[in-house]
């Protein structure tokens, strides 16, 4: 039996070169950084690049409002709002609940301290988005701090 690996380019030349053309379709990637170094912009750029290639994106956010992410990405030169408006990009808002605020996002978590509720919201969003969706957790550190390891 012959196994064919399908590579998904990140759109970041140096990373694609290191990964032999991109990450393996269906794989999970963890971007790890040193303390006080934010890896989110790298993940955001990859997400933006994949959205421009007609992939779908799911951004799980628990450390700031989704609107702030849209503004940040636009500032970096990755305008994702059109993808958000047409439904190619969705957020799972796990921030507003911790702040005691309501969310206007289609997918949200009322109690981000409950790992089961976070899991259910992500699974619901993934079912709605379908296969091949790029998922970005921002931030895994915050998720672990809130829900435990």
Q: How close are the terminal C-alpha atoms of the chain, in Å?
A: 38
- pTM of the model as a whole: 0.92
Q: How far is residue 145 from each of residues 112, 126, 137, measured CA to CA in Å?
A: 11, 23, 14
What pLDDT does residue 145 have?
79
- Evaluated on CA atoms 134, 79, 88, 7, the torsion sign reads negative
What pLDDT does residue 139 have?
83
pLDDT in tens, 35-48: 888 899 999 999 99
Mean of the per-residue pLDDT values for the chain?
93
pLDDT in tens, 52-72: 999 999 999 999 999 999 999
Domains of the chain, start order: 57-147 (3.40.50.300)
**Short-list 89, 92, 93, CA closest to 133:** 89
DSSP state of 22: S
Give the whole-angstrom CA distance, residue 11 versus residue 6: 15
Most confident of 4-13, 32-41, 71-80: 71-80
What pLDDT does residue 149 have?
63
Per-residue pLDDT at 144 exceeds 80: no
CA 105 to chain centre: 15
Per-residue pLDDT at 78 exceeds 90: yes
Give me the count of residues in the chain: 149
DSSP state of 138: E
Per-residue pLDDT at 85 exceeds 80: yes
Of the pLDDT bands very low, low, confident and very high (cuts 50, 70, 90), residue 133 is: very high
pLDDT (mean) for 102-117 = 94
The phi, psi pair for 132, rounded to 5°, reads 80, 15
Paired strand residues for 57: 89, 134
What pLDDT does residue 34 have?
86
pLDDT (mean) for 24-43 = 89
């Amino acid at each position: 039996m012959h196994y064919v690996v399908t590579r998904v380019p990140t759109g970041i030349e140096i990373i694609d070169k290191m990964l032999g053309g991109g990450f393996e379709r269906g794989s999970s990637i963890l971007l790890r950084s040193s303390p006080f170094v934010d890896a989110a912009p790298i993940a955001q750029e990859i997400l933006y690049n994949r959205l421009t290639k007609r992939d779908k994106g799911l951004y799980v956010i628990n450390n700031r409002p989704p609107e702030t992410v849209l503004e940040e990405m636009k500032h970096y030169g990755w305008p994702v709002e059109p993808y958000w408006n047409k439904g190619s990009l969705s957020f799972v808002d796990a921030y507003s609940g911790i702040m005691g605020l309501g969310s206007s996002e289609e997918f949200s978590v009322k109690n981000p301290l409950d790992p089961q509720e976070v899991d259910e919201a992500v699974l619901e969003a993934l079912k709605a988005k379908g296969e091949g969706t790029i998922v970005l957790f921002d931030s895994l550190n915050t998720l672990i701090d809130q829900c435990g390891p």
